[in-house]
Amino acid sequence: MTHVPFGYNSAFDVADLGSLTEAGVTSAQVTTGSTLTFQITLADVGTDVVVRFEGSLDGENYFNLNATNTDTTLTANGTTGYYLTAPVSYVRFRLVSITGGTPTVSCKVGTM
């Protein structure tokens, strides 16, 4: 069976990267896209959570996809979206830190 990269067969594909309840990273998703949209859903936040969108060219060494190399702080429950132009072969989501509460952070990524 041939593995077809995410974003290869259609104009827009969406993949569920999963949910995190403690600092760590999701599984990586292979992608052919250079235009990425991350959808983050946050529940049960205390004070805040800090997240990072990561990409890789080789699937082993990941870097922050934010052009200024900064992380994103979320302070309220709900769903937010982030649009990035990043020609990478792999993407994943990192929950950097949690301040207060027992939050669940879910991430989906879309590409075209």
Alpha carbon distance 91, 86 (integer Å): 10
pLDDT value for 5: 60
The residues near 33 (Cβ < 8 Å, ≥ 6 apart) are 6, 7, 13, 111, 112
* Number of Cα atoms under 13 Å in the Cβ half of residue 73: 5
pLDDT value for 3: 54
pLDDT value for 86: 86
Q: Chunked in runs of 10, what are the mean pLDDT values of the chain (112 residues)? A: 55 91 96 90 97 96 94 97 92 97 96 83
pLDDT value for 6: 56
The residues near 1 (Cβ < 8 Å, ≥ 6 apart) are none
CA atoms 7, 66, 51, 37: torsion sign: negative
In the chain, the domains with their CATH numbers are 13-111 (2.60.120.380)
pLDDT value for 9: 56
pTM of the model: 0.88
